[in-house]
Structure 1
Amino acid sequence: MRGSPLQVKLFSSAPSPRVSRDIHLPGGKVLRATPIFDTYWRFAAERQEVFFRRLSGAPTPWTDDPVLRSFRFTNVYRASDRVSQYLIRRVVYEGPQEEEEVFFRVLLFKLFNRIETWELLEARLGELTWKSFDFSRADAVLSAAIQSGVRLYSAAYIMPSPLLGLVRKHSNHLELLRRMMADHAPRKVVSARSLREVFQALRAYPSLGDFLAYQFAIDLNYSELMRFEESEFVVAGPGARSGIGKCFSDTGGMREDEVIYAVTRMAEQEFSRLGLGFRTLWGRALQPIDCQNLFCEVDKYSRVVHPEATPEGGRTRIKQRYESRPGAIPHWYPPKWKLFPGLT
């Protein structure tokens, strides 16, 4: 049997297997859902409960699900994650709000996607602004950090190095940002007429493939630079594509983004069908970016709960163990969303 002893111990927590069912969509399209699609909604409901229990100050453990207790999974709502929360509160909304400054800060943060790297640069360089930023000094700070064994990049997703002629990956990313600013990238994204156009503007730069360009577009859209609805555009990353493949044995020829849109629209009825009392984010419904992330997380979750669904040669383990972090960041969302968590 495939799997570690821990995995074998956890298999008993999986929902009882059920046969596939057909989901009929407008326009005559049909999704053939596997039993893992039920797990998708159960996972979403329980992971969201973990979020609210933790936020309320309840003591650990925040769930009886042994998989959620053992491994690290992102929040159901992308904006609720620790790194996104830091980005929104400390990077986007602190500091000058001119378009060049906001764009510069967001891209500088996201190219590394690691809070510790941002704080290292702040500690050594002072306030991080486009007007005062010294790329040579930043490169030296990060180079010294690497030599002392400090990790600069998040493990959340792969950050390919742009091939811009420099030796170190971080040097190439700093050079990419310098070139984007010189190319008036802030003006290009602010002039965009849709979230898709923001994505396309970012996608034109070296090493920013579909997934990263989309993620950066979502991050910029947290700011006051633009006011696009997250519901208008989505791009499925590699993990989400794998999760969709596990949740559906047949997508009726629909593209991954079409599947994500369809699943987003059916969320309320699916939670109701399964008798799950899903709590939204203070009235904010799940958005396509959130459902995209959920497919990625369920792809990981199913490696333990549904090991039979992992294709031969596919990943069978979840790499990141759950570790409780001290000093939780107070939750705060873009003011334009008009959410009221009751926190300051």
Structure 2
Amino acid sequence: MCERQRIYERRFIDDQDPPWTDSDVLQEYHFCNVYRRLDYTTQHLLDEVLTRENDRDVFFNTVIYRFFNRPKTFQSIGGFTPVDRFDPDGMCHALRLYEEDHPLFSSAYRVTTHSWADSDSKAVNIVKGIIRDDLLANFDYYCESVLEAESMEDAFEVLCELNGVGEFLAYEMVIDLNYELLPFSENDFVNIGPGSSSGLMIIFNEVHEDWLHWMVDRQEDLFAEFDLTFPYWEKRLTLRSFEHALCEYQKFVGIKEQDEVRRKFSPRDHAQDTLEDFA
């Protein structure tokens, strides 16, 4: 976690030339940032969706965005779209054209392959079978129940009711919405995903939420125990931060100790926001 955050600072704050680390694994392979909101896909969502004025439209576009989780795919369908201007046929047509030369979905996680709209196209099944036939058909219920939820867990459980949205994707969406629209702390609720579960097993030999709380509560002492000074840019790391980092940790261990084949790192050409933009 310390070295990954230092890589970010060396690259984007100090404007150093690569390599930004002595770690062969971190040099050669792709790892998400410790602070999730610094990742490229989340930054794009913050810039293009979450800061818009209409909360209903923000909720609608956040759900669409995370199904594909690729900024360029989102741009190919016209970007931010008010809910009352949603055109499923037009969106499917745009996705078919874009798919001829580009991947539609991020490799960060898998989304549903169920034939929600009886189509052989995953994109069509999502746009028509999920967005049109479930989210839009029951939009007032979903939107109001999430945005007026009394807890992060309540909002998460409503999102889980959506066709094709399991616990992993629901947690991604509720964390996104919590950046701007929801009032909760990332320490209020955590959903332990499969990657994080593997990380917990490596370290503690069991999967239990208590260990995440233990790391949050003792984080300064733990860094000091290993003679590390974490380069904080927010007050403290949260349950979400450790859940997120445990997933990256199990990837690191798999590459270093088991020669797992993972996505290689290639610096992007985009202009990424810096820590100051968020602080």
User: What TM-score, normalized by structure 1, do the two folds share?
Assistant: 0.75
AA in 1 matched with 2:127: L
Q: Is the 8 A contact 2:69 2:105 kept in 1?
A: yes
Q: Is the 8 A contact 1:271 1:277 kept in 2?
A: yes
**How much has 1:202 moved relative to structure 2?**
0.5
AA in 2 matched with 1:330: D
Match of 1:197 in 2: 154
Q: Is the 8 A contact 2:30 2:264 kept in 1?
A: yes
- Summarize the alignment of residues 3-22 of structure 1 with structure 2, pairs less than 5 Å apart: none
**Candidates 55, 65, 84, aligned match of 1:109:** 65
CA deviation string 1:186-208 (max 9, x = no partner): 11101200100010000112221
Question: Could you tell me how far apart the structure 2 residues matched to 1:318 and 1:292 are?
Answer: 22
Q: Is the 8 A contact 1:196 1:233 kept in 2?
A: yes
Name stretches of at least 5 consecutive residues in structure 2 with no aligned partner. Answer: none
Does residue 240 in structure 1 map to residue 196 in structure 2? yes
Tell me: higher relative CO, structure 1 or 2? Use CA pairs within 8 A at least 6 residues apart.
1
Question: Could you tell me how far apart the structure 2 residues matched to 1:265 and 1:272 are?
Answer: 14
AA in 1 matched with 2:91: A
Indicate the SS of the match to 1:306.
Answer: helix
**Candidates 238, 255, 264, aligned match of 1:287:** 238
Does residue 277 in structure 1 map to residue 229 in structure 2? yes
Q: Is the 8 A contact 2:28 2:264 kept in 1?
A: yes
Question: Could you tell me how far apart the structure 2 residues matched to 1:193 and 1:174 are?
Answer: 29
Name stretches of at least 5 consecutive residues in structure 1 with no aligned partner. Answer: 1-43, 308-315, 333-340
**Candidates 147, 155, 167, aligned match of 1:210:** 167
**How much has 1:342 moved relative to structure 2?**
5.7
Question: Could you tell me how far apart the structure 2 residues matched to 1:242 and 1:342 are?
Answer: 33
Question: Could you tell me how far apart the structure 2 residues matched to 1:280 and 1:189 are?
Answer: 31
Question: Could you tell me how far apart the structure 2 residues matched to 1:192 and 1:127 are?
Answer: 24
Indicate the SS of the match to 2:76.
Answer: helix
AA in 1 matched with 2:256: V
User: What TM-score, normalized by structure 2, do the two folds share?
Assistant: 0.92
Percent identical: 27
Match of 1:296 in 2: 247
Change beyond 3 A, Cα 1:217–1:269? same
Does residue 60 in structure 1 map to residue 5 in structure 2? no
**Candidates 112, 125, 139, aligned match of 2:92:** 139
Q: Is the 8 A contact 1:162 1:172 kept in 2?
A: yes
Question: Could you tell me how far apart the structure 2 residues matched to 1:262 and 1:127 are?
Answer: 39
Q: Is the 8 A contact 2:66 2:169 kept in 1?
A: no
Does residue 266 in structure 1 map to residue 218 in structure 2? yes
Match of 1:72 in 2: 30
CA deviation string 1:113-155 (max 9, x = no partner): 0011011112xxx752212221110011112223x13210000
Match of 1:37 in 2: none
Match of 2:176 in 1: 219
